Amino acid sequence: MGPKFAILAGSLCRTIGAAAAIFAAAVALPGTGQAQETTAVTASLGIVDEGRVAKIDDLDFGRIIPGDSGGTITIAPNGNLSTTGTLIASDETHPAAFELERRVFVDYPVFIAPTISDTVLLANTADPDATMVLTGFTTDFNRTGFLGLPAYFFATNFQFRVGGTLAVAANQKPGTYVGTFVVEIEYN
């Protein structure tokens, strides 16, 4: 497993998963007549440059009128909007957008999260007890590019988008709802 990057609430949070392992042990058993032994251990650590993944835009569901039975609103990575139920959605929506910086032929990024099964709770900023659930995350990260290779293959800067599905209850309380999801990229 290589280094990981996560975008959390628009800020870059760098985590290095299994990037370093440091363990040293010196054993000296108590007692008379025993010699003490020591072993030198080499420690190594890979430091990853910050700023390799940047948020360009938030996932925005625009304005919604929930209606009597509620429903769902889905924003696809390409920006297409679909709804179910009686809700009415504005056309001022867009997927979240990110830019990945990589070294060609050295970094091979893998999109880890969010996945279609991840769930995020969005809370009303004026009344945190009023919530909506965001699920069904999708991305265009793995889209095909030149010669059938991944679209990022020859790019040093690669943009990708993340969409999702928001469940809106019947007569959902009016207000602004916010939540946070993590975008995680691993480099192999």
Full-prediction pTM beyond 0.85? no
What proportion of the chain, given as a percentage, has pLDDT over 70? 73
Q: Which residues of the chain have pLDDT under 70?
A: 1-51
The tokens for 111 are 């999109």
- What confidence score (pLDDT) does residue 41 get? 54
pLDDT of residue 40: 58
pLDDT of the residue at 47? 46
* pLDDT the model gives residue 91: 79
Q: What is the DSSP letter of 51?
A: -
- Widest CA span in the chain: 86
Find the domain containing 15 and state its range. Answer: 4-187
Cβ–Cβ < 8 Å for 102, 109 = yes
The CA-to-CA distance between both ends of the chain, in Å, stands at 7
Tally of domains within the chain: 1
CB 44 within 8 A of CB 149: no
pLDDT tens, position by position, 36-64: 565 555 454 444 454 588 999 999 999 99
- Which pLDDT score is estimated for 42? 47
| pLDDT given for residue 36 in this prediction | 57
Phi (first) and psi of residue 29, to 5 degrees? -85, 135
Percentage, residues of the chain above pLDDT 90: 52
User: Long-range contact list for 142-149, CB < 8 A, 24+ apart?
Assistant: 142/111
